[in-house]
Structure 1
Amino acid sequence: MDLNGKATIVTGGARGIAKGIATAFVKAGASVLIVDREEDLGNATAAELSQFGKVVFMPMDLSQHDQLHLIVDKAVAEFGKLDTLVNAAQASAQEMFAKQTREQANIAFDTGFWPTYHLMQAAYPHLKASKGSIINFGSGSGLSGMVTQASYAAAKEAIRALSKVATNEWGKDGIRVNVICPYAMTPGVEAWSQAFPDQYAASLAQVPLKRIGDPEADIGAAAVFLASDAASYVTGQTLMVDGGQTRAS
């Protein structure tokens, strides 16, 4: 699964699953543009990963939707092309659905769905030229209807639906679009485990492999596969990288 010569954007890449993906990509030979709103952390992550290859950091608040095309412009300016777009960034507010507000729901869509939507559109001509791929992120919480995750689950399922449409419309252009639904130890999962320990314990008990995934070794490796030529005939798929927690149909 060689990514030498490939140019990649990873949103939210300063920490968590997205950092694991950025790490796996650069170690596989890709040039990576990390995008994150946390400038100090992003610069530190880029400096850390630069020992493995070319990594550039771009600070950006993904909720500024009219500015998102600048991310694609930056990647093309730095690398000369774009081969892979990884839409991994996401924020959300956890609340029981009956109590959830529109403002809380907007967090999930403004940081996850709409950035995915706009970045896919901005990246399209470049991915068409490179016969590239898009890796979006869904969630088992959308497939299973996890409590307290109404807006997050809805945004993730909207991303999966958008990915299916793009698969059908852009396949003729040689663009592959796939979705990963991960379960890995991240700051968000750690915070969730502390806020809702009973839910966390029940969730872990449902994982057949009885462990939580590693952002780089597990989720990053799956993303590298989907971006590589080894997956040249794989598109329109939702890949559950969650230790068997959710069996998608």
Structure 2
Amino acid sequence: MAGRTVLIAGGAGGMGLATGLRLAADDERIVLADLPGAKLDEAVSKIAATGANAIGLRLDVRSVAACRGVVDQAREWGGGLDILVNAAGVWLEGAASEVREEQWDLVLDVNLKGAFFLISAAIPHLSAAQGVIINIASDAGIVGNSGAAVYCASKGGLVLLTKALALELAPHGIRVNAVCPGDTATPMIEYQARTYGGDDPDGYKRRLLGHYPQGERARFIGVEEIASFIHYLCQPGAAPITGAALSIDFGISAGY
């Protein structure tokens, strides 16, 4: 088990970094790929502080060439590629009648296009390793969210991409699964609250939690909980699980 090479796109974000830290505890070699800057440097430092081998690579997932390049760099650094986690994501909400073309392009490029071309580039290496692909989708990839049509389109596409690739890649020994979290305590939630919450960002977050069946007990999911779920899916004991869209959302996608 020890010593696998893990590439995490969006690795400086909340779920990406938490996943890196969880897998680093198993002595895996961790490649965090994200936009360059202090955030990426700090994320790599946190993983390196655990004693794990870690490296940060610059990546703009909107670029096909950059996706292909970062897969090659990760493979060269790690001596192979065993696990790919697609954790990059952006949020957009608002009336569909007001969506601009550049907003559509940004959300689809980051949430769907980038994941596809990272997977495409990684297939030969993951085949050699009998590897694992984890796509972080969303409850919004399973059920519709009013006022978030573009985001739903991107994450719904990612869920069906996962299922199609699981079938295509099963003969190569590659497992592909989508993890579909509900609202999670990440910087993205804080961005949503600041951007769309007007003068009451805390009220925005309370309204999100108001949709959950737990009522007053509702809370945001912890990134460590997501990371533990992903960690399990990367283990040999999860071998039968492929092509699944796995909810971790306190039941919000179960129905009303």
Indicate the TM-score class for this superposition, using the shorter chain for normalisation. Answer: over 0.9
Provide the C-alpha distance between the structure 2 equivalents of 1:10 and 1:19, rounded to a whole number of angstroms. 8
Residue equivalent to 2:47: 49
Provide the C-alpha distance between the structure 1 equivalents of 2:59 and 2:154, rounded to a whole number of angstroms. 20
Cα shift at 1:38: 3.4
Map 1:111-190 → 2, pairs under 5 A: 111-183=110-182, 184-190=184-190
Output the aligned Cα RMSD.
1.7
- Does the 8 Å CA contact 1:92/1:104 hold for their aligned counterparts? no
Provide the C-alpha distance between the structure 1 equivalents of 2:26 and 2:193, rounded to a whole number of angstroms. 32
Q: What count of residue pairs does the alignment treat as equivalent?
A: 245
Cα shift at 1:199: 5.5
For 2:166, give the aligned amino acid.
T
Greater CA drift, 98-107 or 122-131:
98-107
Deviations 1:225-249 (A, max 9, x none): 111112111101111112222228x
Q: In structure 2, do the counterparts of structure 1 residues 224 and 94 end up closer, same or farther at CA, with 3 Å as the change threshold?
A: same
Q: Are positions 1:9 and 2:7 aligned together?
A: yes
Deviations 1:185-232 (A, max 9, x none): 0111122234335553233131536221111x2000001111111211
Deviations 1:138-187 (A, max 9, x none): 11123231123111110111111111111111101110000001131011
Q: SS in structure 2 opposite 1:189?
A: helix
Provide the C-alpha distance between the structure 2 equivalents of 1:84 and 1:68, rounded to a whole number of angstroms. 15
Provide the C-alpha distance between the structure 1 equivalents of 2:209 and 2:193, rounded to a whole number of angstroms. 10
TM-score w.r.t. the length of structure 1 is: 0.92
Identity in percent:
26
- Does the 8 Å CA contact 2:166/2:175 hold for their aligned counterparts? yes
Deviations 1:13-62 (A, max 9, x none): 11211111111111232111000103221111101210220111001211
Q: Are positions 1:192 and 2:200 aligned together?
A: no
Q: Are positions 1:226 and 2:224 aligned together?
A: no
Provide the C-alpha distance between the structure 2 equivalents of 1:203 and 1:114, rounded to a whole number of angstroms. 28
- Does the 8 Å CA contact 1:92/1:105 hold for their aligned counterparts? no
Structure 1 residue ranges without an equivalent (≥5): none
For 2:131, give the aligned amino acid.
G
Residue equivalent to 1:201: 206
For 1:187, give the aligned amino acid.
P
Q: In structure 2, do the counterparts of structure 1 residues 16 and 60 end up closer, same or farther at CA, with 3 Å as the change threshold?
A: same
Out of 203, 210, 213, the position equivalent to 2:218 is 210
Provide the C-alpha distance between the structure 2 equivalents of 1:153 and 1:27, rounded to a whole number of angstroms. 33
Residue equivalent to 1:109: 108
Provide the C-alpha distance between the structure 1 equivalents of 2:66 and 2:139, rounded to a whole number of angstroms. 30
Provide the C-alpha distance between the structure 2 equivalents of 1:96 and 1:199, rounded to a whole number of angstroms. 17
- Does the 8 Å CA contact 2:176/2:243 hold for their aligned counterparts? yes
Q: SS in structure 2 opposite 1:68?
A: helix
- Does the 8 Å CA contact 2:141/2:180 hold for their aligned counterparts? no
Q: Are positions 1:241 and 2:248 aligned together?
A: yes
TM-score w.r.t. the length of structure 2 is: 0.90
Greater relative contact order (CA < 8 Å, ≥ 6 in sequence): 1
Provide the C-alpha distance between the structure 2 equivalents of 1:106 and 1:182, rounded to a whole number of angstroms. 23
Provide the C-alpha distance between the structure 2 equivalents of 1:112 and 1:35, rounded to a whole number of angstroms. 15
Provide the C-alpha distance between the structure 2 equivalents of 1:203 and 1:245, rounded to a whole number of angstroms. 11
For 1:160, give the aligned amino acid.
V
